[in-house]
Amino acid sequence: MKFHQLFIAAIHEPKKLAAFRLLKIGKVFQYVFLFVTLFTGISFVRYIAGDASLFDASPELLAHGETVGWIIYPIAFLLQLVISTFYIFLRISVFGYVGVVLLKLMKRRGEYRFMWNTAAIAITVPILLTIVLDFFPATGNYSMIVTSIIHTLYIAAAAKYYPKMAR
């Protein structure tokens, strides 16, 4: 399955979203790393453009950043890549557990590894929304709550299509 097919199905097809639990983990990782790359790229471009500064808090750090010169850019990119990767994979893992709880409440069969795959593909809309909301500082306090609710709703919609528990 191609990435654009995964992307389109992740937005509006919960039945396929549930079926993606059977994808190979390598394919799911590739899909997630597309978002990590997008998230990191946008963050880095904003940093270069001066939209978001890393050294606002301390004049000493600002002076040190000026003495380091151009080397600050690859370091900033790597730091943003590591933080973005950690954030997205941690979020997927937490929502994988949320999905397992939802499966138990809905009396559906499923393991964490399957729900992790579903949560990874279901992060499409929440991550895109996080990127958009990041450009509006007034929504900073609520963006995490809003995207978490949306992520949970996508996982719940997919969980309805997991197989029922045997009686």
Q: Does residue 165 lie within any of the structural domains? A: no
Average pLDDT over residues 137-156: 87
Q: Write down the mean pLDDT value for the chain.
A: 86
Residue in this structure with the two tokens 């790359």, named with its chain if needed: 37
What span, in angstroms and rounded, lies between the C-alpha atoms of 153 and 69?
46
Say if residue 51's pLDDT is above 80: no
Amino acid sitting at position 17 = L
Per the structure, the complete domain to which residue 116 belongs is given by 3-159
Predicted pLDDT of residue 153: 95
Which residues, including other chains, have CB under 8 Å from residue 28's CB and lie 6 or more apart? Answer: 20, 117, 120, 121
Q: Does residue 71 lie within any of the structural domains? A: yes
Q: Does residue 167 lie within any of the structural domains? A: no
Q: Does residue 152 lie within any of the structural domains? A: yes
Q: What is the domain count for the chain?
A: 1
89-125 confidence digits (pLDDT tens): 999 999 999 999 999 999 999 899 999 999 999 999 9
55-88 confidence digits (pLDDT tens): 455 677 667 667 777 787 888 889 889 998 999 9
Q: Does residue 128 lie within any of the structural domains? A: yes
Predicted pLDDT of residue 57: 53
Q: Does residue 63 lie within any of the structural domains? A: yes
Q: Does residue 166 lie within any of the structural domains? A: no
Are 102 and 75 in contact by the 8 Å Cβ rule? The answer is no
Q: Does residue 60 lie within any of the structural domains? A: yes
What span, in angstroms and rounded, lies between the C-alpha atoms of 7 and 23?
14
